[in-house]
Amino acid sequence: MGDTRRASGMLRATTIASLTPLEELDDDPFLVDSRSQHAMCARWAAEQGYVVTRELLLRGLRPDHCALWEDAEAGLVDLFVAPSRRVLERAIASVDEFTAECARRGVRVETVGHAEPAYDAQMKAHVHRRLSMPTAGYDGR
């Protein structure tokens, strides 16, 4: 089935964002704001002709962990994309080993490379509310 999807022109991307504790919001808001990380990747993927089929939220995951590779093994992913190398460094325990494994498996890995948003107090408060009240029905708007 993976070959059929690829033959139909649908290129599939998996986005990678970092799972960073809310306590680090003041020091590094973009690493905490996984929603913005995924959105940056989705915009880049769409511009490149990819459809995001999976979003991963990771912190220090081993490069050989099955969560990274189950879609690749099933032929359901053509590309991993992260906002930047530093996000990958937070998400994956060894970026070099991960990129080597990607090359071995024939799956591309890319970083968006766009400038990170500048966070003011209002934006930080928005991220804080969204992340601190997920079970209270707050949807982030």
The model carries a pTM of: 0.86
Q: What letter does residue 92 receive in the DSSP assignment? A: B
The span from the CA of 130 to the CA of 137, in Å, is: 10
Full pLDDT tens readout for the chain, 141 residues: 344 344 456 899 999 999 999 999 999 999 999 999 999 999 999 999 999 999 999 999 999 999 999 999 998 999 999 999 999 999 999 999 999 999 999 999 999 989 999 999 999 998 998 888 766 554 544
Q: Architecture of domain 2-134 in CATH?
A: 3-Layer(aba) Sandwich (3.40)
Distance, in Å, from the CA atom of 55 to the CA atom of 25, rounded to the nearest integer, reads 21
* For the chain, domain boundaries: 2-134
pLDDT of residue 9: 66
